[in-house]
Chain A
C-alpha cells in the first residue's frame, strides 16, 4: 500500500503521486460506506483538503500515509452518518437499526444503490470492513490496522458479510428497513 513511499525520505510525501494513487481508493471507500455518489464526492474532497492542511502534522513513524488518510476519511464518514441520524435516547441507540438514507432518483437502479440497500442489513462494523476491502481495495492486514481487529478476525467477518451480500444480490431483491 505504501510502496510509493518506499523510496522517499522520511517525512516527505509526493502529493501528486499520493493523489493519483489514493483518490480512487478514498472515493470508492466513501461510495461503499455512504451509498450515495454526491455525498461520497463531497467527503472525498474534504478528506484530501484536510489531509493537505494537516500535512505538516503527519508523522510517518506513527502511521503509514494511507492509514493516516483513511483515518481522516473514516472520521468524516462517521460524523456524516451520525449527523444524518435522528437523535435517539441512549438505550434505544444501543439497539437502533440504521435509518434509510434518501435516494437520488437517478441512481435508483444503479449497482451502488442496490449495494447500499443490502449493506444496511449488515452491522456497522461489517459495513466498514466491506467498504475498506472492496471500496478502498485494502488488504486484510491494512484493514486490521485501521480497525484494531486481528487479521484473522477481518477475514472471518469479511467472509460472512460477503456471503450475506451475495445472497441478497443474487436474489435480486432489496430488503426494506424495519
Chain B
C-alpha cells in the first residue's frame, strides 16, 4: 500500500506526506502500531509552509516503521510495492512517498532521510529525491528517529520540482533550535541548470566491491554525460568511507533508543490492555506496539550508550563522524560536487533483503556518510538496467550548497530528460 491515510484532493499541487511528518488533525502512525489513534494537534513547519503556497495534502504515505528500514517492508501496515515492478520493493524508509510520485498520484511528496531514506527509494522507483543540508528544513513536526541525522526533503519527478518545494519550506524555525537560514546567495529564486565549469569528484571507494555492474555502468555514463555538458570529472578518495556504516548505525540507534522511549502508552497511542503495574504496562505496550526491526535498533542503541560500552562504541562512532566530516571538507576544497551511485543495486525482490540484515545495513554505504556530515545530496534517475529497473545517480555538495546540487541535477535533466535516459 502507498497511502496509510488518504485525503483526496484536486488541483495541480498534490502533496503526499510521509506518515512521520505531522499534519494537524490527520492521523500520524510513523508506520507503527504504537501510534494507533494518535492525531497530532500540530503540523510540521515544513508542511505548514508548503500549504501556505498552495500545496494540498493528498495522503499520508506508508513507510518503514519509524524510518528504520531500507525496503519498506518493516511497516506495520504492510510493504509498499515498487510501481515499476510489483514483485520488488519500493525502497525505504520513504517507500510510499517515492511510489506515489512514480505512480503519478501526486506532483511532489515529502520524505525524510536519516541514512538514505529519501534518496534510495527515489533511485529504486526511478524518481528524484533530495536530502537537504542538515538544519535547512525545520524538524519540528517530524517524528524523530535520529535527531542529528534526520532531515525532511522533497521527492518528485524532477530536480526543478524538488527545488521549488525545498525553496518554499526551508529556512530557520523558532521551534527548532537546530534549524538555520540559508543566506540569500545560497538560495536563488530560480535554477539555471549550469553544469559547465563544475569540478565533480568520483570517490574510488564508491566504485568497489559489491556494486552491481549495470549500476556502475549507468553512473559512469552519467559522469561522461556531465562532462559533455562542460563539467570536469576527476577521481578522488575518501578513506573514512568504509567506517561510515558502522558509525551511522551506532549513532542512529543510540539516538533512536532515546527518541522512541516516550512511546509508553501513557499519554497517546497504543496502550496494552493487560497490565498489573506501570512497568508491565510499559513493557507490554512497547513489545506489542513496536515491530522487530525497531526493537532490534532500540536494543542496539541502548547497548552502545550503556555504562562500560559508551566510550568504546558511541564516543568512538562520534569521533569517526568527525573524521568523515573533515574528509568531506577536504574533498570539497578540491571539488564542487561528488558523484556516486545512490545504492549498490536496483530494487531487490520482496523479502530478499530481510534474509541478511547486516548486508541490508551495508547497502546504505553510499548514503549514510552524507547524513553523518549533514551534506546536501540528490538522487536522480540516470538509466535503467536490462530488466527495465531504474538506477539512481547521486550528486553531493558541500554544506549549505543545496542550490548547487539541485542546479547540477536540473542541468543534467534538462539535457537528458528527467528519467536520465538521454544519450
Do the two shown chains form a genuine complex with each other? Answer: no
